[in-house]
Structure 1
């Protein structure tokens, strides 16, 4: 049995902090194998002592032995000649159950690695910022559209940064200190996203980033960074987890002042109804 499978068998018996370390180890074995315990703790959002306590809970002598176990697992994976595509179901497996269970697993993994203090900080920033900008390029653009539309149901001053150089530069120049930039970067190509994020930080804008990798280059440039999905998840599963977290963040923002956001919804709905009535009247 691989060591990661041993972790899964003991998962339920671990403390909450140790579960975060366990899930991270399962999803990011290469990071465990190549980083020291203190760095791993920072990436996960737990203390170094929690990482060590996880090792003891797994009946290991310490972090070095954990690295040895994980390296052995990785060498065993290299010996496998054939790997099935994650989106191709095995024979006699119900496709509906297979796909939706992977989505559930991606969401559950995200729950386990989310830092609650970071979550609370993010929703506070979203609530207090006067203007919210949303950035998502390429495969992240649909998720950026989803966040923009969801936020627009509850508040004014929500702007999706359009993916062309002229609009990006113009909108970044319009940002003020009381603005916030929400960056969604779910693909591997983050060079341009990083450049835009640095431009926003130079304007002293708060940045919340949502990525698929805990070692994303955005980490040092975001006030809050969330990792969604798992290392080996297909993009579709990662997007599902991202949208679930987005939903939770918006709900958290609304909970900061439910009356304020509910009133905006009512006024906005009334405005839409009046506009629709006017359009019908003019067409007669």
Structure 2
């Protein structure tokens, strides 16, 4: 199926703005092949972001891929006339495509989040006496990030390291006053499931952030949040993941902003007393 046929097939599932882009592409393929996304958006009367999000809705990697597919079709049809003078590309459009892709992934992740579960999670993050954060292998940097930010606002925050001795020690401390946050957006290993199961057996609250709503962690989690992935790209996953982590922490702070601001100021005063 060529690109124009694919657009027609998916037309009904597009948003109103994306339908405008779709109709313009169908009617003016030569023009789209020879003009950058911002210029096409101006001609249609929509934002450049809408043009690029249309490309993602078509499961393309961006506007450049849309142009390549259209050019292939024009060559096959023997229609290579530009239809109008080509406007020089003034700027590199890569950064626009990449950052709009990030925005799209964050918005798609937002659609997967249950507001009620999110509210319960931020409240639990506020009320739990101890917070443990687990993220092994590719998820470890995200776990480290969340741990470091939380430590700026509250005490009793611990990252569980991928070391058997540390895992055993931390699991022995976990109890009903504890919250375990599991970040597992890569391949889910058996050791992560084991930790989740043991924590659940000790009546701890368990919140999981994964790359699938069907993750096995669901059986041991009080709340599970899935990160949207576009063509399983790990870099794109991290953007949505960090955004969700920030939202959770902001939700926690909103429970008692003065308390967390005072804790942060105290930390800053202590740190400023030392000479490095």
Same fold by TM-score, threshold 0.5 exceeded?
yes
Q: Residue 178 of structure 2 aligns with which residue?
A: 179
Tell me, what secondary structure is at the counterpart of 1:218?
A: helix
TM-score normalized by the length of structure 2:
0.69
SS of residue matched to 1:124? helix
- Summarize the Cα distance change of 1:168–1:109 in structure 2 as closer, same or farther, 3 Å threshold: same
Please show how residues 213-224 of structure 1 align to structure 2 within 5 Å: 213-224=212-223
Q: Which position in structure 1 is the counterpart of 2:44? A: none
Secondary structure of the equivalent of 1:199? helix
Q: Structure 1 regions of 5+ residues with no counterpart?
A: 13-82, 280-284
SS of the equivalent of 2:209 reads strand
Partner of 1:200: 199
Judged with a 3 Å threshold, the aligned counterparts in structure 2 of structure 1 residues 180 and 7 are, in CA distance, closer, same or farther, namely farther
How far has the Cα of 1:138 moved from its partner?
A: 0.5
Query: Match of 1:168?
Result: 167
* Residue number in structure 1 paired with 2:14: 9
Task: Give runs of ≥4 in structure 1 deviating > 6 Å.
Answer: none
Q: Which residue is equivalent to 2:110? A: 111
TM-score with structure 1 length normalisation?
0.67
CA distance in 2, matches of 1:106, 1:256: 27
Distance 1:221 1:106, change over 3 A: same
Q: Secondary structure at the match of 1:184?
A: strand
Over the aligned positions, Cα root-mean-square deviation in angstroms equals 2.5
> CA, structure 1 residues 214+7, in 2 after alignment: closer, same or farther (shift >3 Å)?
farther
How far the C-alpha of 1:196 sits from its partner, in A, is: 1.0
What 5-or-longer segments of structure 2 have no aligned partner? 18-58, 69-88
Residue aligning to 1:137: 136
Range moving further from structure 2, 134-143 or 183-192: 183-192
1:123 and 2:131 matched: no
In structure 2, what is the equivalent of residue 150 of structure 1?
A: 149
